[in-house]
């Protein structure tokens, strides 16, 4: 049997909150299988926290920090809104996003390995570090919704900080999944095409027209999901691209709970 790696032990500790030694013993017994190791810990009665590891996390908060030409976004996930409102949870999220901003990805991951299990034990819920992003740009616009459930960062080349913030607010409201139409994943388009084809059949459209009709549907679908092609919320007569004029979007990140 190959030795259990330190990374596996660390992963199990993060999921369960159990000591490194107990995690290693369980993984050795489970021959490296993390799910089996959790079962072993639960059977031993050591892992109250391990019981929580499989529970869904539909709540949490988004944390945002900005300094000069850098902005950081962190999603910290939990099970209930009650825990999301807890001061310990909020303090941890703030520390995480400030660590990411000041010290980068590696420092955040190292911090989370220790801090997340401690939070789980303290607050009694399954908690985990979700997505996180560090964005740089010459002109940054950030927006954090009042309930801290949605956070957006937009970086522009050219333009103003106000325009960048307006674009970030637009993205918070309209949820574009990509910046430009060509960035929409082909897999998503193909799935939509299957639906469109069935719809066209039910509508009785001639099959010879399907390809032409679907070209138009694909163009619309890609534009609806692309930040630059969406009607701008503050002036729907313009697209976001038209609103920005000569300014170029160099980065766009949106994190949301749920």
Convert the pLDDT of each residue in 37-66 to its tens digit: 888 887 766 655 555 555 677 899 999 999
pLDDT digits (tens, 9 = 90+) for 6-42: 888 888 877 776 778 888 999 999 999 988 888 888 7
pLDDT digits (tens, 9 = 90+) for 83-96: 999 999 999 999 99
The verdict on pTM exceeding 0.85 is no
| CATH architecture for segment(s) 6-52 | Orthogonal Bundle (1.10)
What tokens does 9 get? 């032990």
pLDDT digits (tens, 9 = 90+) for 110-155: 999 889 988 988 898 889 999 999 999 999 999 999 999 999 999 9
Nearest to 60 by CA among 92, 96, 85: 85
Homologous superfamily, domain 55-136: Elongation factor Ts, dimerisation domain (3.30.479.20)
Q: Give 168-172's long-range contacts (Cβ < 8 A, gap of 24+).
A: 168/141, 168/142, 168/143, 169/143, 169/233, 170/227, 170/230, 170/232, 170/233, 170/234, 170/240, 171/143, 171/227, 171/252, 171/254, 172/143, 172/145, 172/254
């Amino acid at each position: 049997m190959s030795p259990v790696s330190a990374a596996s032990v660390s992963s199990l500790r993060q999921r369960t909150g159990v000591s490194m030694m107990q995690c290693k013993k369980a993984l050795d017994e489970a021959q490296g299988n993390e799910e089996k190791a959790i079962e072993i810990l639960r059977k031993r009665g050591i892992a109250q926290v391990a019981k929580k590891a499989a529970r869904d996390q539909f709540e949490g908060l988004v944390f945002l920090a900005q300094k000069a030409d850098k902005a950081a976004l962190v999603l910290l996930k939990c099970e209930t809104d009650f825990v999301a409102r807890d001061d310990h949870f909020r303090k941890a999220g703030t520390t995480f996003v400030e660590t990411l901003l000041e010290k980068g990805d590696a420092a955040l991951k190292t911090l989370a390995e220790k801090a997340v299990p401690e939070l789980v034990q303290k607050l009694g819920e399954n908690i985990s570090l979700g997505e996180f992003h560090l964005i740089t740009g010459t002109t940054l616009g950030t927006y954090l919704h009042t309930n801290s459930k949605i956070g957006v960062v937009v970086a522009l080349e050219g333009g103003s900080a106000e325009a960048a913030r307006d674009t970030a607010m637009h993205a918070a409201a309209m949820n574009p999944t990509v910046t430009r139409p060509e960035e929409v994943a082909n897999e998503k388009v193909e799935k939509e095409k299957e639906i469109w084809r069935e719809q066209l059949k039910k509508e009785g459209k001639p099959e010879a027209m399907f390809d032409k009709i679907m070209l138009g549907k694909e163009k619309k679908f890609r534009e609806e999901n692309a930040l630059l092609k969406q009607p701008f919320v503050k002036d729907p007569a313009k697209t976001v691209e038209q609103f920005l004029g000569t300014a170029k979007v160099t980065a766009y990140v949106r994190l949301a709970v749920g």
